[in-house]
Each structure stands twice: as C-alpha cells, then as structure tokens.
C-alpha cells in the first residue's frame, strides 16, 4: 500500500448504517446525499457505508460526493455475486471510481442460511472479482477480518483489514498479523454523552445484538474476556474497551489509542440514545469534526 492510499483514507472517517438509499424513499435519498456532502466538507477522510449495503447504495454515495473516499463496511459476499458487484462498480463514473473501495465480509452464520466454509467462500469470491471484466483488483478492496487466517488473506489479497467491534489490543495484534504495509482501519463506536451510565445504556442497546453472533464473541474470548462479560448487554469492562464514551475530547483520546496501537485510520460510528445509530446524527458529526480539526 502506498502513502497516497493512506492519505486518501485519512486518519479519521465516519461509519454509518444509515447511508442506504435503496432502503428509503426519495426524501430519504435526498437527506443522505445532503449528509454525505456535508461530511465531505467537514474533512473526514473516508465515508463507510455500514450495515450490509448494496452496490447501488455505494454508487449513490460516490455520486453525491466529489473527493472523499467511499467504502462499503461491509458488503456481504452472500448477498451479491462477485460478477454483479464488479458490473455495478464498473458503471460508476470513471473519474469517481478510483475513490471507491469495496469492503467485503462473510457475515455471520445465524444471519445467513447458506453460510458455510467462510474462509473458502471469501477466497473464491476474491478469485471471481479478479476474473471479472473489468476486475475489482486488490487495490480497491478491503476485508472484514478478525482472526489470523482472514487477516493474512486481507494482507495478501486486498488493501488490508476493516475490523468491527474490536479493542486496541486487537488492533495491535492485527497490525502484527497484517505486517507494516497493509491498511488497518478499525471501526470504533462512539456515544457522545458525559453521563457515563446513560452512555453505557446506549452502547448496550447496540452491543446486545452483536453478542449473539459467535464471530464476535469468539474474538472477544480470544482477547481475554469471559462469558460473564457478555451478560446483560455487556459488562462495564467490555463496554469501556469497545466504545468511546464521553465528550468529544474523550473520543479523540480513544481514537488516538487505536492509532497508537497500529491503526492507519479509525472509522467512527456515532450512536445516539434516540436513534440507536440508525439515523443521521449530523450535529454529533459536526462536533467530532471540530474536535479532530488537526486530524482531518
């Protein structure tokens, strides 16, 4: 990976599951387009379309922006064939296509009826992207990777890894597994609330779903957490390790911990008590942009 690629991603980005134009009406599409244009203007390096987006969701965000890197975080390989994805990416305007990065993941067994041999399925999917006309080459894709095998694959067959719901300790381990040259861009969930009890409640509302998915819990157990940490939506120890809770300066400090642990870029997902992360928290995005002025 070149220094130009790291610069294109920037140090800090925004991850949002609300940037799905295919799941809303015309007014919703306009709101998304307006929001991503503002995020670009605020200076964020990369906009991550979370929550299993479609290729059309990604194309719409690319079309609504001019210079910012746009990435899927993460497109499920079970939802769209490699040929379909490659064809849709090739339809993106030539001048904008270079700033799109295809983030790919294998999702989770409880969510995918056909889930089987995820590592082999990812290898086959990457092979199909390589063989597509035109191909989606390794320089324009990144993998959701938690364990050693998938991290090694990410380093060899893509720009690098975009781990979700991870600690700084995982970031350090991932950097060692990836080597110095691959991109490492973890997601970090954020609750801008100085009432820590309330902030942890907001975090638990989001985390409880993920604690039912073995890929995440197995990874957390590898990192030294216990089954008891998963009870009641997550122990304080678990929440404080996975989230940035507090004011914008605390979020900045937590982000710095991930960067110091080996991340090249941190994708911030803002959670709010009223939206659970499902809306467009534009006031919070502005507040964070002010706190990260020298990072953007």
Tens of pLDDT, residue by residue over 76-92, are 999 999 999 999 999 99
pLDDT value of residue 148: 95
Question: CA torsion angle for 247, 253, 254, 260 (degrees, to 10)?
Answer: 170
DSSP 71: E
- With 80 as the cut, is the pLDDT of residue 274 above it? no
Q: Which residues contact 60 (CB under 8 A, 6 or more apart)?
A: 21, 22, 29, 32, 33
Comparing CA positions, the residue from 291, 215, 280, 295 lying closest to residue 246 is 291
237 contact partners, CB below 8 Å, separation of at least 6: 225, 229
- Tokens for 165, please give them: 């719901």
Tens of pLDDT, residues 202-226: 999 999 999 999 999 999 999 999 9
Percentage of residues in the chain with pLDDT exceeding 90?
87
Query: Is the model more confident about 275 or about 180?
Result: 180
Q: What is the largest CA-CA distance in the chain?
A: 53
Residue 26 makes CB contacts below 8 A (sequence gap 6+) with none
Whether 272 and 202 have beta carbons less than 8 Å apart is answered as yes
pLDDT at 5 over 90: no
The whole-angstrom separation of Cα 149 and Cα 174 is: 11
Cα separation, 77 vs 2, in Å, equals 27
**Distance between CA atoms of residues 294 and 60, nearest Å:** 29
Q: What are the distances in angstroms from CA 85 to CA 17, 36, 259?
A: 19, 22, 31
Could you tell me if 26 and 56 are in contact, meaning their C-beta atoms sit under 8 angstroms apart? no
Which is it for the CA torsion 132, 138, 140, 146, positive or negative? positive
Q: In whole angstroms, how far apart are CA 243 and each of 20, 108, 145, 282, 283?
A: 24, 22, 19, 19, 19
What is the mean predicted confidence (pLDDT) over 61-77?
A: 97
């Amino acid at each position: 990976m070149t220094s130009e690629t790291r610069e294109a991603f920037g140090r800090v980005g925004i991850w949002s599951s609300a940037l799905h134009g295919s799941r809303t009406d015309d007014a919703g599409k306009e709101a998304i387009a307006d929001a991503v244009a503002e995020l670009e203007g605020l200076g964020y390096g990369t906009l991550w379309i979370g929550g299993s987006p479609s290729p059309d969701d990604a194309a719409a965000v690319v079309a609504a922006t001019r210079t910012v890197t746009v990435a899927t975080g993460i497109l499920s390989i079970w939802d769209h064939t490699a040929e379909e994805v490659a064809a849709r990416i090739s339809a993106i305007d030539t001048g904008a296509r270079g700033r799109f990065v295809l983030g790919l993941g294998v999702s989770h067994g409880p969510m995918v009826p056909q889930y089987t041999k995820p590592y082999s399925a990812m290898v086959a999917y990457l092979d199909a992207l390589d063989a597509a006309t035109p191909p989606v080459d390794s320089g324009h894709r990144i993998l959701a990777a938690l364990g050693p095998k998938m991290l090694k694959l990410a380093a060899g067959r893509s720009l690098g890894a975009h781990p979700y719901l991870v600690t700084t300790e995982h970031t350090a381990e991932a950097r060692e597994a990836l080597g110095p040259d691959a991109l490492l861009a973890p997601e970090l969930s954020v609750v801008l609330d100085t009432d820590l009890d309330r902030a942890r409640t907001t975090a638990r509302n989001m985390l409880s779903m993920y604690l039912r998915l073995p890929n995440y819990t197995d990874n957390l157990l590898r990192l030294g957490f216990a089954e008891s940490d998963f009870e009641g939506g997550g122990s304080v120890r678990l929440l404080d390790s996975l989230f940035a809770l507090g004011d914008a300066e605390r979020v900045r400090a937590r982000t710095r911990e991930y960067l110091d642990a080996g991340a090249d870029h941190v994708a911030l997902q803002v959670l709010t008590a009223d939206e659970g992360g499902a809306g467009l928290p534009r006031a919070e995005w502005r507040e964070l942009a002010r706190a990260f002025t020298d990072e953007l």
